[in-house]
């Protein structure tokens, strides 16, 4: 019977340890995320470019409610998007909202129900990120950005 080498075992323990430490047991979402973030941004999709108001409310239990133009965010939650190592290497954003966007954002938008991802950071008291529609098509590996440059200040 052949056993794993001590080097391989040590490597596996280190990887598991780094993964466990990078997503520590902090309270989530942190207090600075909780509240309503609102602003106006440019909606861009299939030749349509119009300004629309985006309003996001992050609740203490991690659920997210809000609107993007006339569309409504549904079944949305906020999660951590990276740990300390990702932050050091500047990979991804600190947080991400995942869920659905239901309805038309602006009058000329086809609307419907779209799965969305909204990666973001908090910088200078603003929620900075983008809101993209996710597709099931294998050739579209990245979100189709609906709002590529969100900058939402927190409402007091």
Classify residue 142: in a domain, yes or no.
yes
Instruction: List Cβ<8 Å contacts ≥24 apart for 83-88.
Output: 83/19, 83/21, 83/22, 83/23, 84/21, 84/22, 85/18, 85/22, 86/22
- Number of structural domains found in the chain: 1
* pLDDT value, residue 20: 45
Residues forming beta bridges with residue 151, ordered by sequence position: 128
Classify residue 16: in a domain, yes or no.
no
Classify residue 67: in a domain, yes or no.
yes
Classify residue 4: in a domain, yes or no.
no
How would DSSP label each residue in 96-119? EEEEEEES-SSTTS---EEEEEEE
Closest CA to 85 of 27, 23, 127: 23
Classify residue 12: in a domain, yes or no.
no
Q: For 113-139, how does the pLDDT look when each residue is reduced to its tens digit (9 = 90+)?
A: 999 999 999 999 999 999 988 876 655
* pLDDT value, residue 5: 65
Predicted TM-score (pTM) of this structure: 0.77
Q: Per-residue confidence of the chain (156 residues) as pLDDT tens digits?
A: 566 566 655 665 555 544 444 454 567 899 999 999 999 998 888 788 889 999 999 999 999 999 999 999 999 999 999 888 888 888 899 999 999 999 999 888 888 899 999 999 999 999 999 998 887 665 556 678 888 889 999 997
* pLDDT value, residue 15: 52
Q: Containing domain of residue 85, as a range? A: 29-153
CATH of the domain at 37: 2.40.128
């Amino acid at each position: 019977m052949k056993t794993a080498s001590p080097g391989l075992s040590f490597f596996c323990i280190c990887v598991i340890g780094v993964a466990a430490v990078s997503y520590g047991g902090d309270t989530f979402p942190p207090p600075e995320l909780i509240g309503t973030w609102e602003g106006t941004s440019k909606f861009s999709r299939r030749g349509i470019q119009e300004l629309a108001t985006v309003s996001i409310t992050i609740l203490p239990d991690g659920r997210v409610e809000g609107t993007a133009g006339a569309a409504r965010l549904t079944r949305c939650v906020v999660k951590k998007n990276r740990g300390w190592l990702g932050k050091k290497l500047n990979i991804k954003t600190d947080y991400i909202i995942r869920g659905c966007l239901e309805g038309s954002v602006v009058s000329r938008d086809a609307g419907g129900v779209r799965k969305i991802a909204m990666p973001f950071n908090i910088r200078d008291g603003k929620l900075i990120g983008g809101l993209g529609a996710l597709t099931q098509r294998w050739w579209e590996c990245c979100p189709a950005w609906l709002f590529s440059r969100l900058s939402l200040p927190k409402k007091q």
